[in-house]
A and B are shown apart, each in its own frame.
Chain A
């Protein structure tokens, strides 16, 4: 084999290891027990699929959120992780948490934002319940948003509207478009 062949083989090897290192070096921390990877046929754009696993984000040793899903797919570049039948837990600094379920979710491994889709339901540990057909978690601002007709129920207060932005404890919310609050009267 001539010199040129050796060089191109070395380059290819370098590329593959570099790509793998690039995907695994950042949070979120992927669990050690990475299940067997189902490799699709080499010639198609390959999708890495994780089945029945969790993705956890930690910061300074504290869990920020964790996502579980029936199936997880990672796109070729490792930038987007799509989750089916997703269950998430978002931990609040003050100790409470918010449990979220959705039909689908897409995690951006760069920004750690999560786009949610389909029967979204978020329940805070204080009992606030938020539902929406589409939603999003934004890491930067630590906020949830929902569109497509939302409801938020907290005690004897029910809030509905077209679009909502809420903090991660669902305590401070902004509703835009046909915003309505019904409160009191529960005694």
Chain B
């Protein structure tokens, strides 16, 4: 692959470094630390290609980029350490959001995170789990696909659907839109339908498309 424009130098520190300048490959072992711009990745071992600017770090890896921190068993880095693929008990924390899963892909440039399987995202408003989760962290937005389950103790809400999108912005108007076999329980009231919109701050729900059913539990 053509060598990407190296905007800032990469520094790699370790106990031992093997470097093959013909291949441009560095193998580092022991207290490895890779720094480039605002990205800092630490681990036990690393392989880094100075030509493609791609690397793989293993062994209790921590990757920090601005206010995002990833911990995982292994992290692969691409695009000058701005696109990370983490695997093995991955935890990505950024601001008030915490994403976990067996594998997490994170782009620092676009602040987009993808959990392709068994994803979970913990937001100030509650927790969403789903087969797949995509988080648009700069917009405070997250989408769950496949067996979505949203739980919000603070809102006394429990909802399921095929897909769901959480909107945290604008502040004070956060909402969740549930699509496909949507079912929401809030304060004991149950609403089912094809598409449900739950306005978290206003404690209101409405249903669109297809038949919907509301069961109200008297106080």
Residues of A within 8 A of B (CB): 128, 154-157, 159, 161, 170-187
Contacts and interface: CB of A to CB of B under 8 A. Distances in A.
Interface stretch (B9-17, B71-79, B115-123): B9-17
A173 B80 CA distance: 24
A172 to B, nearest CB: 5
B10 A185 contact: yes
B55 to A, nearest CB: 11
Given A181-B26, A185-B8, 16 more contacts: A157-B19, A159-B19, A172-B19, A173-B18, A173-B21, A174-B18, A175-B18, A176-B15, A177-B16, A178-B15, A179-B28, A182-B9, A182-B12, A183-B6, A184-B80, A185-B9
B7 interface: yes
Interface residues of B, number: 24
Summarize A's interface: helix, strand, loop or mixed.
strand
Contact of A184 (B18, B20, B50): B50
B6 to A, nearest CB: 3
B219 interface: no
A185 B20 CA distance: 19
Contacts of B11: 180-182
A187 B9 contact: no
A47 B16 CA distance: 42
A171 B20 contact: yes
Interface string B162-201: 0000000000000000000000000000000000000000
A183 B28 contact: no
A187 B21 contact: no
Nearest to B11: A182
B44 to A, nearest CB: 14
A183 B50 contact: yes
Contacts of B19: 157, 159, 172-175, 181
30 contacts: A128-B21, A155-B21, A171-B21, A172-B19, A172-B20, A173-B18, A174-B16, A174-B19, A175-B17, A176-B15, A177-B15, A177-B16, A178-B13, A179-B13, A179-B16, A179-B28, A180-B11, A180-B14, A180-B17, A181-B13, A181-B26, A182-B12, A183-B6, A183-B10, A183-B50, A184-B8, A184-B9, A184-B53, A185-B9, A186-B6
A172 B8 contact: no
B17 A157 contact: no
Contacts of A181: 10-13, 17, 19, 26, 28, 50
A180 B12 contact: yes
> By CB atoms of chain B within 10 A, which of A156, A171, A179, A186 has the most?
A179
A184 B6 contact: yes
Contacts of A175: 16-19
B211 interface: no
Interface string B1-39: 000011111111111111111100010100000001000
B112 to A, nearest CB: 24
B17 A172 contact: no
Contacts of A174: 16-19
B20 A187 contact: no
Contacts of B17: 159, 161, 174-175, 179-181
